[in-house]
Amino acid sequence: MLEFILPAGFGFLATVLAVYPTIKLAKKYGLVDNPKTRPHPAHIHKKIIPRAGGLALFFGIIVTTLIFIPIEKHILGILGGSLILLITGLLDDKSHNFSPYLRLLIQIIAATLVVGSGVGIHFITNPLGGILKFDDLIWQFNLLGIHKVIILADVLAILWIVWILNMLNWSKGIDGQLPGIVLIAVSILGLLSLKLYLAGDFNQINIAKLSFITAGVSLGFLVFNWHPAKIFPGFSGSNILGLMIATIAILSGAKLATAGLVLLVPATDFIYTFTRRVLSGKSPVWGDRGHLHHKLLDLGLSHQKITLFYMLGSAILGAVALALDSRGKFFAASLVGISILGGILWLNFFGVSSRKPDQNNG
């Protein structure tokens, strides 16, 4: 177990040590979130907070990965995609003027780079039985050598990665929420890869290491992002961590169902929020104060309790995912997802009546 604990511990320390200079750089160059100069309906903090957390996260991931994992094509793709997201995020933290559509384009470019390095969804297990394959349609071309594009596998992987990036980016409104969710998710995926490795799939050893590295990095950042937060992940931070989860889920044997079940709470909130905005005639990419974590905050729950709710929910669902087969995961996700959606609808329509009585609530 030392070969997995050591990379996780190193990633934790590297990130912790990187946060302090990141905070100084963010303050020096104006990479901060100032609610007075940049009002936003989803903002709930009142102080000026550094936003460049992606820099510390990127440092922790890249340094630890280069030390403990052999450099392979897909590792270079992950690091290259993360670098694109980091640069974009830092520029956005500085200017605050990036269009959501430009952000989406950058996400697609980063995802395409990762997929181009060999990360594709070639199959998924059909919960009703059998295997769904996506590697039949191939486009081959000659550009400084013969290249193959597995069309369905690559397109599906790009869509999966971009969805995870945006889903997690929408789940960082509460201090500690994002790194807490990621910590649980990659730990579950790491345990899954470790299980497959012990069962004889020796290709999973580096995927397990990458999972636990990301867990260590997330824990290191959580120390500073816990309420009251000393630094925010920003667009770059949420996207880098999202890229790690999405890619690890694919590399660990196309375990999309496992990742989807672990992330079911933020995923359900994402689907509801997206649908709600579209049905109300608004663009789904423009933020508001209607997420599940906002509703829980309105009920009087603290940042810490909301973060622990997301972490505990992810941990329970992760344990369920490790114990069930594909059919069980499908039915569990359906049942729990409907329950979560019901809770979100209740909070949106009747949540005000559940507020604790005090002199400010009427």
Q: Tell me whether residue 276 is in a domain.
A: no
Sign of the Cα torsion 60, 63, 69, 71 reads positive
State residue 327's pLDDT score: 82
Q: Tell me whether residue 305 is in a domain.
A: no
State residue 288's pLDDT score: 79
Q: Tell me whether residue 40 is in a domain.
A: yes
Q: How far apart are CA 165 and CA 180, in angstroms?
A: 16
Q: Tell me whether residue 325 is in a domain.
A: no
State residue 98's pLDDT score: 80
Write the CB contacts of 132 (distance below 8 Å, at least 6 apart in sequence): 123, 124, 125, 126
Q: Are 165 and 242 in contact (CB under 8 A)?
A: yes
Q: Tell me whether residue 260 is in a domain.
A: no
Q: What pLDDT digit, counting tens, does each position of 11-64 carry? A: 999 999 999 999 999 999 989 887 776 655 555 677 889 989 999 999 999 999
State residue 35's pLDDT score: 76
Specify the pairing of strand 123-125 against strand 131-133: antiparallel
State residue 144's pLDDT score: 47
Q: How far apart are CA 307 and CA 12, in angstroms?
A: 20
Distances (CA, A) of 236 to 8, 106, 150, 169, 241: 21, 11, 29, 9, 9
Task: Please report the DSSP string for 311-345 in residue order.
Answer: HHHHHHHHHHHHHS-HHHHHHHHHHHHHHHHHHHH
How many structural domains is the chain composed of? 1
| 104-113 per-residue burial string, b: 16 or more CB within 10 A, e: under 16 | eebbeebbbb
State residue 352's pLDDT score: 54
Task: From 192, 172, 190, select the one nearest 181 (Cα to Cα).
Answer: 172
Q: Tell me whether residue 219 is in a domain.
A: yes
| 23-44 per-residue burial string, b: 16 or more CB within 10 A, e: under 16 | beebeeeebbbeeeeeeeeeee
Q: How far apart are CA 253 and CA 245, in angstroms?
A: 13
Task: Please report the DSSP string for 98-131 in residue order.
Answer: --HHHHHHHHHHHHHHHHHTT----EEE-TTSSE
State residue 82's pLDDT score: 97
Q: Tell me whether residue 298 is in a domain.
A: no
Task: Count CB neighbours of 149 within 10 A.
Answer: 15
SS3 of residue 51 by DSSP: coil
Q: Tell me whether residue 85 is in a domain.
A: yes
| 329-351 per-residue burial string, b: 16 or more CB within 10 A, e: under 16 | bbebbeebbeebeebbeebeeeb
Q: What is the domain range of residue 44?
A: 2-255
Residues of the chain with pLDDT under 50: 143-144, 357-362
State residue 357's pLDDT score: 45
